[in-house]
Structure 1
Amino acid sequence: MKPDYKHLKSNLKKDFTGFPIRRLAVLGDSPTQLLAIALKGYGYESRVNYDIFEADFNQIEMQALHPASSLYQFNPDVVVVFFSSESLFSSYCNLEPDSKSGLAQNFIEKIYNITDTITEHSNATVIVVNFCTINDGIFGNYANKTQSSFLFQLRKLNYELMLAATVRPKLFIADFDLLQSAYGFDARRKESVYINTGIITDIDFTPHLASSIHDTINAMSGKFRKCVILDLDNTLWGGIIGDDGIVNIQIGNLGIGKAYYQLQQWLKELSRRGIILAVCSKNDETIAKSVFTDHPEMVLRLKDISVFMANWDNKADNIRQIQAVLNIGFDSMVFLDDNPFERNLVAKELPAVLVPGLPEDPAQWLPFLQRMNLFETVSYDKLDAERTSKYQEEAKRVTSKSKFTDEDDYLKSLQMEAEIMPFTSFSIPRMAQLSQRSNQYNLTTIRYDVQDLVKITENPDYDTLSVSLKDIYGDYGLVSMVVLKKQSGTLRIESWLMSCRVMSRGVEKIVMNEIVRLAASRKLDVITGEYIPTEKNHLVADHYKKLGFSGSDQQWEMRTAQFKELKTFISQKDA
């Protein structure tokens, strides 16, 4: 259950000490006080201190288009731009009839100008709130056939806004129109309040918009969910497989079976997007797996499941085992179970795991989960669909490791091979995605988008390293990236991050060997690095110390003349 406005407002009185600060600017052509309060309150929910600059009413262009404005003095990390459909309709009404069909094109050009100016004069990411559908009652359904109608122009504008976001890496959209379609126009705007104050989002609706914006900002910071852990009986299908048998469970297009069928369709699409699916069920494993292999109306198959845990153990303990195999944070997980007892147990023992309180009626589960917006992201690559197979390979590695008593023998058995090379046009999108996703092995928590990395590769003061890894079980793909800057006779490690999937493989050692070779080729005698601690990257607090650097806390240094090549069990592919 998401917090209401009263709860969010009460968060403002709480202690934000120690929370990371994110500077957030809110620009609107309607009053935004309620939104700013709700955003600040959501920050507390995620242990983030939003320092909010709220521009005066209807000052979007004045703030965005003037480099000396208060907006740029504030130096925001994120700028929310909120044009309202109400103001858009007023502009539409003031146009001559022959000009109405050009409203969307003219307005999208204004948005281009605003967002491009913000990203040009700051390092901020821009989130534009799209336009809610308004029924102006002029043409009725015929508005959909009339280019000059307001409805046609509004929908065209939203479409053009989506196209703009596809080619602007620092532009994202908060889908206000989708929220209104989910909760209703009357819930979104109270007429008496709007007429008297100009406020277009009701106090009870505002948290939905704030949540949408906050989810996107969280994803930019690498905070997002990447795994769904599934119960089976009465969750993925109706009935109990051990008691009812495979022919009597409910799954398919008839009756309540349709609810489970559609839930599985949704989960399948999540898997194709790169969300990991795992099973945690109190069941006989062989019987449970038979449903995935033998039932003709199952949408999900065993190939879709990264880790399958079916036994009679405590579910919290099984989830701990799943986490150990996947090597992701508990806060990256969602647990779905029809049984309130099991949900409460997991929520109590593993509070970082998100455990939705599913409605009693399975028919309501899918819309309930979809409205929760559980899987916000700020990047997508077609290779994400391969993530399930990657984690299935990792499960095989974990099983293999249990057979070894000596760590070195296990690493040798993997027959690992790395390819280390500068960033390329192919690897840059993946490197940008890795920088958004990596939290545990991210030494400086710098986040890059594609545009940032392209500029770095074009700058002669920088060197870059991308690292791919494979072993006898499969290809990890791109697993690590390093951004290096030459300055004042030293080679500075600006950013070093690595996928948590390859921790304890020795990748950092072979990368360090390569960094030293690169420094020597550039005739640079000193390598420096920085560690900026966060809630999640404490695992790498001793990273530089273990590699032979001297220093303390955050600043580290190494003289290349004193470096001794580090031993690894990874061969390196010739460039």
Structure 2
Amino acid sequence: MSTFAELKRNLKKDFSQLKGVRLAVLADSATQLWVQALRGSGYESGLNIEIYEADYDQIERQILDTSSELHRFKPRFVLVFYAAEKLLARFQELPLDARAGFAEGHIDTLRQLVDVLGQHLAATVICTNYPEIDDGVFGSFANKVSSSWVYQIRKANFQLMDLAQSVPNLLVSDLSLLCSQLGRDAMTDRKIAITTDLLFSIDFLPVAARSVVDIVAAASGRFKKCLVLDLDNTLWGGVIGDDGVEAIEIGGLGVGAAYSQLQRWAKELKNRGVLLAVSSKNDPRVAAEPFQVHPDMVLRLDDFAVFCASWENKVDNIRHIQSILEIGFDSMVFVDDDPAEREIVRRNLPDVCVPELPDDPALYLPYLQRLNLFETTSSTAEDGARTRQVREEGRRRELKATFATEEEFLRSLEMTAEVEPLTAFNLPRVAQLIQRSSQFNLRTIRYSEDEVHRIARSPHHLPFAVSLTDRLGSYGLVSVVFLERAGDALFIDTWLMSCRVLRRGLESFVLNALVDRARREGYATIVGEYVPTKKNELAKDHYKTLGFYPRDGRWHLDVRDYELRTTFVHSKVLPHGE
């Protein structure tokens, strides 16, 4: 991680080509240095974070006064920092008989502030939780005294997590966890804090900034989707081709426990929706054997979306993995014990994240966990199915090779699509797809889950989602469309699709559904817009290909003259069930 001095040097670099994000910082203590660290850390994540820093201890006023500088700034994100030290002072000012309700009162206040921000700014709120401070009054007995400070600060942290579960636009930066990892003394320089009210030490500022920037980046569509793993001396100790499957270190053998722990972590990431892949210089049969027969292996072959073991160089292997998964290189993390291999990948694939593993395997997992490489702002029931879906897509590729024409292949898939309104069940996945989709995303507007809730209820919008299945399996929810009423036309505010379903004819199916909806609503024209980004060039000719004509910088389609496009996707349910 960069030092504070290095982050300050980043401020002199060119931010003009980076993705712009507006962040407001509200705190009850001094934040000048933290703001610098946030900007510098944003640069390292490819973000130009424009920051409004509120005056000292103005959290409530800035939020509740809708004419304040905060509301005029119109941030996409609002960072709210209540310092544990300041909360302790408030707690100590309360009468003794009121202290048992301190946590509830504070969280109730926070709930009201978050509601105001959601209603008036549609902003995502990032609230830091509260590192524990022992006030030294009760000692360990504080755990049995509900009116003690230790009891209340822990209760506030727990209730903040509960609040975040119920409020879509609230995310938590876990300062308490960071403090427990690094130690309270590393977090705060008491001498400086007393005289300046700067509560973070110089060494802790980059840590606190990275925690927030990781959240902002993930919510802005910048996150890691795939963990690519070496095998020998990375997932097990030893060289499988030389030592044989019986002699590799895994489980209880030697330092095998360290490798088993790394595998468990990888498996949990896979269950959460991160794709696992193997890039190994090895004979494919020999490389696969431990996953098939070794009793102490945690990971098995079906945990990997792509298993690439060959004598080709690892750069080409990673390129092959990327081509199959159809994700950006900047969405990939490559873990390898060999420094030379790491450097080769860094030099040839600079967008791939390549952590500098420690020499000692016992330190692999703690090191990777501290890097927080797989930050996310959402989790849905569909996430765990991603590996299965990728493997099913592999079978589709094999099937496609057996047909003479694309038309025969598409007809053979027996595809069925379901078009449905936004519901409590699919809305989290819709919000997640909006955050994740970059290549086929016509305008790339990153709506938060709270904003998607508002669009779902808005009388000015006609939103819907599309799920797809075929005879080989389910793709899940793969497309989202938000239509906006704009006079006598319907404007396509959002149209995105998962790359997994491109070249399946789904875009024609969705357009047929759009036109059907427009006709039933009495609209004569559908208007679309393509806003280019670094990643969505794939969709550049989308509207032209579908028969839209350009006018005034946008694309128009006359609904009255439209003829349904041929597609091999069959409809299961009409739009909105009508």
TM-score, structure 1 as length reference: 0.97
- For the Cα contact (< 8 Å) 1:28–1:59, is it kept in 2? yes
CA apart distance, 1:60: 0.9
- For the Cα contact (< 8 Å) 1:226–1:333, is it kept in 2? yes
- For the Cα contact (< 8 Å) 1:337–1:343, is it kept in 2? yes
Are 1:66 and 2:65 counterparts? Answer: yes
Match of residue 474 from structure 1: 473
Are 1:312 and 2:306 counterparts? Answer: no
CA apart distance, 1:340: 1.1
The number of residue pairs the alignment matches comes to 574
- For the Cα contact (< 8 Å) 1:531–1:541, is it kept in 2? yes
Match of residue 255 from structure 2: 256
Match of residue 349 from structure 1: 348
Are 1:328 and 2:331 counterparts? Answer: no
Match of residue 235 from structure 2: 236
1:114-162 CA-to-partner distances (Å, cap 9, x unmatched) read 2222222212111011111112222222222221221111110001111
Instruction: Find the aligned partners of 1:48 and 1:397 in 2 and give their Cα distance.
Output: 37
CA apart distance, 1:426: 2.4
Change beyond 3 A, Cα 1:138–1:254: farther
CA apart distance, 1:403: 4.5
Alignment of 1:19-58 (within 5 A): 19-58=18-57
- For the Cα contact (< 8 Å) 2:79–2:125, is it kept in 1? yes
Instruction: Find the aligned partners of 1:197 and 1:385 in 2 and give their Cα distance.
Output: 48
Amino acid corresponding to residue 522 of structure 2 in structure 1: K
Instruction: Find the aligned partners of 1:288 and 1:322 in 2 and give their Cα distance.
Output: 17
How many percent of aligned residue pairs carry the same amino acid?
48
- For the Cα contact (< 8 Å) 1:493–1:527, is it kept in 2? yes
- For the Cα contact (< 8 Å) 1:325–1:398, is it kept in 2? no
CA apart distance, 1:389: 0.6
CA apart distance, 1:404: 4.8
Unpaired runs of at least 5, structure 2: none
Match of residue 165 from structure 2: 166
CA apart distance, 1:550: 1.3
- For the Cα contact (< 8 Å) 1:103–1:153, is it kept in 2? yes
Change beyond 3 A, Cα 1:488–1:5: same
TM-score, structure 2 as length reference: 0.96
SS in structure 1 at match of 2:491: strand
Match of residue 271 from structure 2: 272
When structure 1 is superposed on structure 2, of 318-327 and 95-104 the one drifting more is 95-104
Match of residue 182 from structure 1: 181
Instruction: Find the aligned partners of 1:322 and 1:61 in 2 and give their Cα distance.
Output: 49
- For the Cα contact (< 8 Å) 1:92–1:100, is it kept in 2? yes
Are 1:17 and 2:16 counterparts? Answer: yes
Instruction: Find the aligned partners of 1:240 and 1:554 in 2 and give their Cα distance.
Output: 59
Instruction: Find the aligned partners of 2:55 and 2:493 in 1 and give their Cα distance.
Output: 37
Match of residue 565 from structure 1: 564
Amino acid corresponding to residue 213 of structure 1 in structure 2: V
SS in structure 2 at match of 1:104: helix
Instruction: Find the aligned partners of 1:71 and 1:91 in 2 and give their Cα distance.
Output: 25
Instruction: Find the aligned partners of 1:142 and 1:563 in 2 and give their Cα distance.
Output: 75
- For the Cα contact (< 8 Å) 2:420–2:573, is it kept in 1? no
Change beyond 3 A, Cα 1:22–1:389: same
CA apart distance, 1:552: 6.5
Match of residue 516 from structure 1: 515
Change beyond 3 A, Cα 1:196–1:461: closer
Instruction: Find the aligned partners of 1:463 and 1:183 in 2 and give their Cα distance.
Output: 49
SS in structure 2 at match of 1:87: helix
Instruction: Find the aligned partners of 2:97 and 2:460 in 1 and give their Cα distance.
Output: 54
Match of residue 90 from structure 1: 89
Instruction: Find the aligned partners of 1:116 and 1:36 in 2 and give their Cα distance.
Output: 25
Instruction: Find the aligned partners of 2:265 and 2:52 in 1 and give their Cα distance.
Output: 38
1:260-293 CA-to-partner distances (Å, cap 9, x unmatched) read 0111111111111111111111111112212111
Unpaired runs of at least 5, structure 1: none
Instruction: Find the aligned partners of 2:316 and 2:411 in 1 and give their Cα distance.
Output: 30
Q: Cα RMSD over matched residues? A: 1.6
When structure 1 is superposed on structure 2, of 108-117 and 289-298 the one drifting more is 108-117
Match of residue 378 from structure 1: 377
1:172-216 CA-to-partner distances (Å, cap 9, x unmatched) read 110001111111111111111111111110111111111110011
CA apart distance, 1:421: 2.9
Change beyond 3 A, Cα 1:117–1:455: closer
Alignment of 1:404-419 (within 5 A): 404=403, 406-419=405-418
